[in-house]
Amino acid sequence: DADVTQTPRNRITKTGKRIMLECSQTKGHDRMYWYRQDPGLGLRLIYYSFDVKDINKGEISDGYSVSRQAQAKFSLSLESAIPNQTALYFCATSDGGQGVGQPQHFGDGTRLSIL
Amino acid sequence: EDKVVQSPLSLVVHEGDTVTLNCSYEVTNFRSLLWYKQEKKAPTFLFMLTSSGIEKKSGRLSSILDKKELFSILNITATQTGDSAVYLCAVRLDFGGSQGNLIFGKGTKLSVKP
C-alpha cells in the first residue's frame, strides 16, 4: 500500500461545484502539504499544516480551503470550482524535527478537470 | 521574491550520453536543496544537499551544491531510457512560519532515446 494516498485519482466536474480531495498517510509524519502542478509552472504550494492545530496558507491559497481531520488526514476543498483550477494536485508529507529537515514524500496525485 | 530556476527546460539525449541539469536559486534563507524525479506520477526523492562541495551519489546519478554561487547540478552518466522523466529542483526555506517549505523550479524534462 502507498504511504501517501490521494483520492480520487481523477475527477471531472463542472464550474461552480464543490469538490473535496482527500489525502491520507501511513508514514506517521506531522507535516502535510497540498500542491498544484500546471504545465510549465512547476509545483506551487496551496496550503500546509505542521500539525492538527496548525494550518497555513501557501503561495496560491485563494479559492481553496483545507481541513486537517487527524494527523494522518488532510483534505483540500474547492468551494466553487472554476476552470482555471484544472490541474494536477499533489499531497505531500514530511517529518518535522530540527536540523536540516526531512524530504517531502508525495502521493500519486489527483488529476482534476473543471469544465 | 524567492525563486528557483532550472535549465534547460527540456533536453533530448541518446542512451549512453552523460547529462548535466542545472538549478540556480535566490532565496532569503536557505536551508537545503532537494532533487526529485517525476515520471508519470508522484515526484520521488533523489538527493538532499546542505553543504557546499560535498557530492551526493546514487548509482549513475550524482549531485553537488555550491552555496557561494547559489546553484546545484545533477549529473546522470550512461543514461538509459528509464531516466526519461522531469527532474525537479526545490529549495527548502529556513525562516519563520514558512520553515521547512519548498520552493520548486519548473523542472527539466529529460528524454532519453534508444
Cβ–Cβ below 8 Å for A48 and B44: no
- What mean pLDDT is predicted for residues B58-63? 96
Whether B34 and chain A come into contact, CB under 8 Å, resolves to yes
Question: pLDDT for A2-24, tens place per residue?
Answer: 699 999 999 999 999 999 999 99
Q: Is the pLDDT of residue B3 over 60?
A: yes
CA angle A34, A23, A13 (to 5 degrees): 80
The separation between CA A7 and the C-alpha centre of its own chain, rounded to angstroms, equals 11
The answer to whether B3 touches B70, Cβ cutoff 8 Å, is no
Indicate which of B10, B93, B101 best probes the interface with A, i.e. most A CBs within 10 Å of its own CB.
Answer: B101
Please state, rounded to an integer, the average pLDDT across all residues of chain A: 91
- What mean pLDDT is predicted for residues B55-84? 96
Of A48-52, B63-67, B98-102, give the range with the top mean pLDDT.
B63-67
Give A104's contacts in chain B (Cβ within 8 Å).
Answer: 34, 45, 102
The β-bridge relationship of strands B71-76 and B61-66 is: antiparallel
Distance from CA of A23 to the nearest CA of B (A): 13
Residue of chain B minimizing CA distance to A5: B42
Question: pLDDT for A86-113, tens place per residue?
Answer: 999 999 998 865 555 678 899 999 999 9
| A90 burial via Cβ count (<10 Å: 0-12, 13-18, 19+) | buried
Cα separation, A86 vs A82, in Å, equals 8
pLDDT at B96: 56
pLDDT band at B41 (very low <50, low <70, confident <90, very high): confident
Give B104's contacts in chain A (Cβ within 8 Å).
Answer: 42-44
CA angle A112, A75, A113 (to 5 degrees): 5
- What mean pLDDT is predicted for residues B56-76? 95
